[in-house]
Every structure is written in structure tokens, then in C-alpha cells.
Amino acid sequence: MPSQNLSLCIFEELATANCIFCLKSYKMRKIKIIIGKIQRVELTKT
């Protein structure tokens, strides 16, 4: 049984790591969109 707990623990750690990675890439995408909008506004000003 301990081996099952260990694999579950590893699985949970992997899931958490994936979640953090997904959140980071999601935030990066949002930041890129915001930067793109700002750049567009700057372009329309000039």
C-alpha cells in the first residue's frame, strides 16, 4: 500500500506542477495580449 500512496503523491505533485505551468503560460498570454493592445494604441497615436 505505501507504494500506491507514493505514486499518488507523485501524481499530485505532477498535477500541481502542470497547473502552475499552465497558469504561467496563461498569464504570459494575457500579458502579451495587453502589450499588443498598448502597442496598437501607441501606433494609432502617431
* 3-44 per-position pLDDT tens digit: 667 777 777 888 888 888 888 888 999 999 999 998 988 888
If you search the block for the grid coordinates 500541481, which residue do you land on? 16
pLDDT of residue 29: 93
The grid cell for 10 is 507523485
pLDDT of residue 12: 82
pLDDT of residue 3: 65
If you search the block for the grid coordinates 505551468, which residue do you land on? 21
The grid cell for 24 is 504561467
pTM to 2 decimal places? 0.50
What dihedral angle (degrees, nearest 10) is formed by the CA atoms of 16, 21, 26, 28?
Answer: 150
pLDDT of residue 42: 85
Number of domains in the chain: 1
For residue 1, pLDDT over 70 is answered with no
